[in-house]
Amino acid sequence: MSGHETHYILPRPAFDKPVKLLIVVAPYYRDIADQLIAGAKAEIEAVGGTHDLVEVPGALEIPTAIGMAERLSNFDGYVALGCVIRGETTHYETVCNDSSRGITLLGLQGLCVGNGILTVETRDQAVVRADPDQQNKGGGAAAAALHLVALARKWGGQRKGVGFKPAQGEYQIASDDKGTRTT
């Protein structure tokens, strides 16, 4: 059972400048959300960081809220928290897959996001994973975001978007009478 295994945990990163994270939580299961939040806050505060907290209606809205905050605010990173418990319909798969995909896409765009959205079969599994004294998945999501912030700072800060960095200066492309391109 995974609750009894030991896992390697990276040491906490150190920061020479303050770090500020946004915790975005879907409190559909309030007691579980509160435990996830407690773990995340403790982890952020352990590195001397600060945090803001916003609530959204459900797990599907978490990536949207993070994307909005990135465009409209000034956070170093983000912690996504929520819980999806399997029910009787395929809605579970939709919510799990689409919220995870949205968070992954934000990360691939250069955002520092820790994913702490629990996707479980039962409430009992959620309680164990959310509890800061047990699996502490909220703290783990905050730690993931903090590690990504540390990497972004190590590599010179975040750039907007992904892919090739545009060349500096102007280049003109022309063709000679033989169709050969020259710059």
- The residues assigned a catalytic role are 91
Contact 62, 28 (CB under 8 A): no
Residue with tokens 């992904």: 162
Taking Cα atoms as reference points, which of 60, 77, 70 lies closest to residue 150?
Answer: 77
By residue count, the chain amounts to 183
The amino acid at residue 34 is: D
**How many Cα atoms are found within 13 Å in the side-chain-facing hemisphere of 97?**
5
Angle of helix 137-154 versus helix 30-46 axis, rounded to 10: 40
